[in-house]
Every structure is written in C-alpha cells, then in structure tokens.
Chains A and B, each alone.
Chain A
Amino acid sequence: MKGRDTNGRANGVSLRGDRLPKLCGADIELGNFILGLRSDRGTGYQASRLLLKEIEGLPRVERFRGEQCECPACRRGRESTKAGEGNGDNAKGNGGPRGGVNPQDWGRKYLASNGGCAYIDLDHLELCLPEVLSAYDHVATWHAMLRIARAALDSANEKLARGKKIQVLVNNSDGKGNSYGSHLNFLITRRAWDNIFRRKIHYMLYLAAFQASSIVYTGQGKVGSENASPRVSFQISARADFFERLVGAQTTHNRPIVNSRDEALCGSRGSRNEDKATEEMARLHVIFFDNTLCHVASLLKVGVMQIVLAMIEAEQVNVELLLDDPVDALIRWSHDPTLQATAALTGGEELTAVELQLRFLDEARRFFASGGCDGVVPRAGEILALWEDTLAKLQAGDFASLAPRLDWVLKLSVLQQVIDENPELTWGSPEIKHLDHLYSSLDPSEGLYWAYENGGLVERIVTDEQIERFTVSPPEDTRAWTRAMLLRWAGPDGVDDVDWDSMRFRTEDERYRTRYRRLEMASPLAFTKNATERAFEDASTLEELLDLLVKKETL
C-alpha cells in the first residue's frame, strides 16, 4: 500500500500493506424523554429534537417541510434509500423513509468545536465522536461529547415549561424491551474485512468469542432481563438480551453479535480521487458493546478491541478459542454476575467468561511481544497491563477493587447495598429499576456515576483538562482536525454539505456567482494537524485554502 505524506509520517504510525493503525470512531444513541409530558408512544421524539436544537453545528438547517429535514445528509439519505442502497434494516421498515423522512438520520450537524457530529436516529439523540487513534483519546472525547450533550440538556430544560423536564440516560435499553446502540467503528484493512466476513469464517467466530466474553469488563449492568430472555435479577450486560444472531448487517432487529455492515467512510470506491491506500481501507462497525461511563471500562472496551483486531489483521487467530454457541454463551455469562457460568468451546471445553478472556490475553501478550502492536495500537503495553490486572481481580472475586473500574460492578455494588439497607426493597422493586436508570443520568445532580466520579470513587484514566480540551478542540492526529478547522473557517455561509470523508463548500467567483467545491477526505489518517496546519496559515480565502488542501492531498 502506498503511504502519503499526510498519512503515516505525520502520525508517527507506519502504514504497511497488511496493517493499519486501529483508528476508532463511535456513534452512540442516548435514552431521552420528557418527564411531565404524557404520551402513550413515549416522548423521545420531542426530547431528541429539543436537545439537538441546542447543539451548535453545520451545515445549519434552516428549512423544514413538515417533518422533512432538508439538510444535505437527510436529502442524501432519502436518495440512497430510494435507490435501494439498504443497510440491512430496511427489511423491517426502520431504515426507509417514512413520508419522505429518514428516521435513522435526521438533522445531522457536524461540530466545529471538535470535528464530531450529532443527529437524531429513531428519536434518540446520537453523538458521533471524532476519529481518534488512541483508546485514551477515545475516553476523553467520549466524556467531552457527554459534556456537550449535558450543556444542551441544561439549555433545553431552561426553556421548558414548569413541571416538565428532559431526561437523558447514557444507557442502552428502556427496560421495556427497546434497545439503542453504542457503536464503535474501527479502521481495518480491506483484506481483514474480507477475511472476517467472506473468506475465513473462523475469524468472525474468533471476534464473536472475544466480544461475548468481554462483557466482564465492558458491561454497564442492568436490573432484570428483556426481549424474552430468562428472568434474572441483575445481569452484566445491558445489551446481551438483544443479540439474537451471530452475524448480520442489520442493527435494529435480530441484532447480530458481529455486524457486517460494509460502509467504509473512506471515500467512494472507484471515485476519481480514490487511491490504493483508501481502497484498501474498511470500517468494522461494532454494535455489540454497552455504553460505559467508567474510564477503565471505556478504555479497555476500545483498547483491547484494537489489539484483538490487530491480531486478526495480522492473521494471528487461535481457532481453539472459538465458542460453540456465542449467542447462548453471551446470555449465559451476562445473566450470571457471580462469574461462575461456563460456556462450551468448539472443542468441548467449558470456560467461564473470565477464563476465556485470560486465553485471549495470553494470545495478545505474545502478539505484543513480537511487535504486532507497534505503530497500530498506541500505548498497547499499558492497555495490556490494565486488562491483565482487571482480569486477575475478576478471577479473584475482588469486586471492591473493581467497582471503581467497571460500571456493572459499581452499579451492582450500590444497588445491593441499597437493598441490604432497605429490607422492603427487592430486585423487582420499581425503586431499584429507577436507580438502575439514574446510574447513567446525564444530570449530575441525580446521576449516580457522576456522584462517584466527583467523589473520587472511580478510577480516572484521563483528566478533566483532557476531557475539556476535546469539548473545544478536535483530535490532532486524524482528519477530524481539518474537518473542524474547515467548519470554523468556512462558517455557516460557506459550508454546504459535510460527511465523514468529504465536505462541500459554497464559494463565489469573481462575478459573485455561487459555485460549489468539494474536498475529498478519503483517508481518516490524513488531513492531520501536522499535514494541513500550514495551509490554514498561508491561505487568505476559502478558495485558496481548498486549493492548498487539494494540492496536499494529491502529493
């Protein structure tokens, strides 16, 4: 693969033909509703729109025809749906336009503050994190986006009539059988993607086995079960009950553990700006994980996944770790917070989730020692050490040490304590389910997690300053930097359309006629601060700036 000046060298990462840095993005739906407003169908529709209105972003949407959002992203979504470019969800009618509306992509706006974006997906406010290289930066950008959402929540609530209040929950289900996702996106080679989904099906099973057992540190915890799963008082994963398939492209029904949606967001294949580098890029869309608030859980969720994907990309896959039935194993393990439940490997051996994770850790240790993470997973050694320590504590049953690290242990510890102190309460009491929801309330006056974070009872991975920085600045080592700077430079009058891998601008010619110019940003590893900062300093007009950026891109 050919590397470009704007790619590897600027990032300090290497681009070899068979490996890519494990760049990560995320698109995360939140629970949102209005207390004090009655509706049999719920109030997510109203709450999500009031929240999105309070988030500054571009392109600015001024025109609505009834329900129909006229922003370019929505127009594009309608056109692609009409053209039959389904995403796997259309079979059930969730992905298609309803009366000209795309309910899965409404009002999308990109943030000049940090290069991320926000929009509404099926009546949920969805936060999309800017692309990052490091799992540590993922933790910081995730909490930064939550702060941006909290500011929107405060502003929206100030405008509501007395007696009404918008609630935002950073969870994954409403307790009534409706789930919403916390998706991660990882850059992998096209060859790795093809291996997982088209050529070497045991790679997909390896990924499924890893993900299913990873809930022991990626789960948020949940009171009760849903979606016709067996009854349980408390379970480790909030999403486990909703995974009914091993693999598939769909995300809103019959959800698969491994999602096969192939949408690279690295340029349109075959376009004239395509080069071999971006043609060999693919995005793994991961719909499996829970929303996590604890820093350690959030770090391990992304960091360990980066390492495992690097192993898969390097074709270091141990087929002895495959599960006989990953969907069943996931439910079995999630429903047993004592961590004693076992599931069978294809070879017949029965393992607990922690035991299987320890096997993956052994594989990862060897891979790391051989240099496999070099240049593709930043700070892999630290991530491995934290993973190992966390698994050791899980294996030892040292839950007091784990509560500051893992959401499900923290939530379980406090709920069990509340029940112990209040004999009239049981796991089935509405008050306990209420507290389950309040654990992740974005409102710091009632969100249990924030009380523990402010009280120093959770282990920090990133500082407040690092988080705050990403509320006003983009990551510097991905294309998110140039996206944010271009949004600032062009402003609402100049920005016509934005997508992850391209931007279109309105400019004027010498006769003041409007003309449109598109900038392709196919590689997420390009357009870093190092690569383009000089262009922003040298240009005096938007036209000049775009000329310089195009020139740089085609070097």
Chain B
Amino acid sequence: MRLRERTDDDRVRSGQNPADGGTNDANLNRLRLAGQDLLTAGADAIQKALSGDSERFLAATRQQGGQ
C-alpha cells in the first residue's frame, strides 16, 4: 500500500488505497472524476501552497499544546 509505512502489522486485510479508487473500476473512475473537480475548485489554495513558501508557513504554525 502506498499510504502505510507500518511494517510490524499483520492485522490488515488485503485492500487498496482509497485514493486509488477502493475495490473496483467503477469506484476508481468516479474517484478520478471527483478528484479533477476538487483540483479545479481548490485551484487557488493549491496554487498558493505549491508556489508559496511552504517551509516558512510550516515554521510559523507552531502552537502551544492545548486541551
């Protein structure tokens, strides 16, 4: 699986990455189409993150631990 990096875990049933479409081709195609819509609708924010200074942003996010 692409998402998991745990290697000490045998309690995982076989499956696919949901972002790859779950368990069948129909799901896969629907997810790809939905993904395109998400890219289009979120284009401004995505562009901001990809062309901005992400390192600077991430350096600024530090918070005090809360409740």
Contacts and interface: CB of A to CB of B under 8 A. Distances in A.
A66 interface: no
A336 interface: yes
Nearest to B40: A455
Interface string B5-29: 1101101111111111111100100
Given A35-B57, A332-B11, A352-B13, A445 B44 contact: yes
Interface residues of A, number: 89
Given A176-B61, A399-B27, A400-B30, A335 B6 contact: yes
B14 to A, nearest CB: 7
Interface stretch (A119-127, A303-311, A524-532): A119-127
A251 interface: yes
A58 B17 CA distance: 50
B19 to A, nearest CB: 3
A230 interface: yes
Given A350-B11, A398-B22, A178 B39 contact: no
A375 B24 CA distance: 43
B67 A31 contact: no
Interface stretch (A5-13, A70-78, A179-187, A510-518): A179-187
Contacts of A399: 18-19, 21-22, 27, 31
Which 7 residue pairs across A and B have the least CB separation, nearest first? A397-B22, A180-B66, A416-B19, A400-B30, A42-B62, A340-B15, A417-B35
A232 B5 contact: yes
Nearest to A397: B22
Nearest to A253: B65
A439 to B, nearest CB: 8
Nearest to B20: A416
8 contacts: A42-B63, A180-B67, A231-B6, A332-B11, A397-B27, A413-B35, A416-B35, A417-B38
Contacts of A421: 39
Given A45-B64, A338-B3, 15 more contacts: A121-B66, A121-B67, A122-B64, A178-B63, A231-B5, A233-B2, A253-B65, A338-B16, A342-B12, A343-B11, A413-B19, A414-B42, A433-B58, A441-B45, A455-B41
Interface stretch (A270-278, A363-371, A446-454, A497-505): A446-454
A176 B1 CA distance: 25
Given A233-B4, A332-B9, A337-B3, A252 B27 contact: no
Nearest to A259: B67
Nearest to A433: B58
Nearest to B59: A38
A406 B11 CA distance: 25
Contacts of B54: 429-431, 433-434
Contacts of B61: 31, 33, 167, 169, 174-176, 437
Contacts of A352: 13
A122 B65 CA distance: 7
A409 interface: yes
Contacts, number: 226
Interface in A134-191: 167, 169, 173-181, 183
Give the most central of B4, B9, B57: most A CB within 10 Å.
Answer: B4
Say which size band chain B's interface belongs to. Answer: 35 or more
A31 B45 CA distance: 18
B38 to A, nearest CB: 4
Interface string A271-300: 000000000000000010000000000000
A435 interface: yes
B34 to A, nearest CB: 4
A42 B24 CA distance: 46
Contacts of B36: 417
A122 B66 CA distance: 6
A172 to B, nearest CB: 9
B4 to A, nearest CB: 6
Given A233-B3, A434-B57, A417 B27 contact: no
A42 B64 contact: yes
Contacts of A122: 64-67
A452 B35 contact: no
B50 to A, nearest CB: 5
Contacts of A29: 66-67
Contacts of B41: 451-452, 454-455, 457
A448 B27 contact: no
Contact of A232 (B3, B15, B39, B46): B3
A234 B30 CA distance: 21
A434 B18 contact: no
Interface in A27-51: 29, 31-35, 37, 41-45
B9 A341 contact: yes
Contact of B58 (A232, A253, A430, A454): A430
A434 B49 contact: yes
Nearest to B33: A400
